[in-house]
Amino acid sequence: MTRAEPEPVLVAGGTGRVGRMVVDQLLEAGVPVRALTRQPATAAFPAAVEVVRGDFTIPDSLEEGLRGVSAVFLVWTLPFAAAPAAIERMGRHARRMVFLSAPHRTPHPFFQQPNPMAKLHADIEQLITDAGMISTVIRPGMFASNALHWWASTIRSGHAIRWPYGAAETAPVDDRDVAAVAARVLADEGHAGGDYVLTGPESLSQVEQVRIIGTAIGRDIKFEELSPDEFRRETADTWPRPVLDMLLAAWDATMGHPAYITSSVSDVLGTPARTFHQWATDHASAFT
């Protein structure tokens, strides 16, 4: 008797910051992986990955990727408009979906600033339910890797970090832990219906985070506090306005509060969440 091939998991957003690690971790766990991308030719996945072309804005283009899958990992970075048709199409094929969302339901001031991203994520979660899929929602707080986008080039050039709300505390979660949780809940049906807020293990001010990066690279990094208006002026040409508004509101609201911390990473993985110090040490070369 031949044994049926296990159904693949479709990783949509597999070329992205989190998705790429989800692909690797699923492969390590022995789960067949299909990755969806708009540009298969340049996606550069390991040979074991089945790569399919698909675009959320063209629902018919998703058919090939969705055929025979057990579950979908979804990262949504587009405006909402294309979501209803794309997610309805996913629901015709997949029983389960793991969605990379954000902690917009968490009753902590940092997460309770009204912003367009919170509404987008909430609306997508509703579409997943309406499409009849059982969802597992993972809700990371601040990614540790934001430090790469925000600070790496300034630190490499030897300049001071000029930043607002230095005392604002967050609990950066290591992107590798986010991906590991995603891969685990994709592979294990026992997490269907789960809802996990993922944070790092400690509350750290932004000043402390910069200091930890300095320790990792063996250099003192100056932190110069800016007022929110000064920061707005300095980033006006480079930061999207909604992102800037969202972050300034969240940092302002969280002043005087320790960051919200959960044990979800260790609960799901059975290993402790990585610290920001660990993240900075492992990424030191990006800052030097």
Q: How far is the CB of 5 from ligand NAP (least distance, A)?
A: 25
On whether the CB atoms of residues 185 and 191 are closer than 8 A, the answer is: yes
Which residue, 31 or 173, is less far from ligand NAP as judged by CB? Answer: 173
Q: How far is the CB of 145 from ligand NAP (least distance, A)?
A: 7
Which residue, 117 or 122, is less far from ligand NAP as judged by CB? Answer: 117
Core vs surface per residue 13-28: b (16+ CB within 10 A) or e: bbbeebbbbbbbbbbe
- For residue 93, what are the contacts with CB-CB under 8 A and spacing of at least 6? 66, 67, 68, 69
163/167 Cα distance (integer angstroms): 10
Q: How far is the CB of 27 from ligand NAP (least distance, A)?
A: 17
On whether the CB atoms of residues 216 and 76 are closer than 8 A, the answer is: no
Which residue, 100 or 212, is less far from ligand NAP as judged by CB? Answer: 100
259/272 Cα distance (integer angstroms): 18
Q: How far is the CB of 4 from ligand NAP (least distance, A)?
A: 29
Which residue, 14 or 201, is less far from ligand NAP as judged by CB? Answer: 14
CA angle 60, 65, 67 (to 5 degrees): 90
Residue least distant from ligand NAP (Cβ): 16
Which residue, 72 or 221, is less far from ligand NAP as judged by CB? Answer: 72
Q: How far is the CB of 220 from ligand NAP (least distance, A)?
A: 26
- First-to-last alpha carbon distance for the chain, in angstroms, is 57
Residues forming the site for ligand NAP (CB under 6 A) = 12-19, 37-39, 43, 55-57, 75-78, 100, 102, 117, 140, 142-143, 146
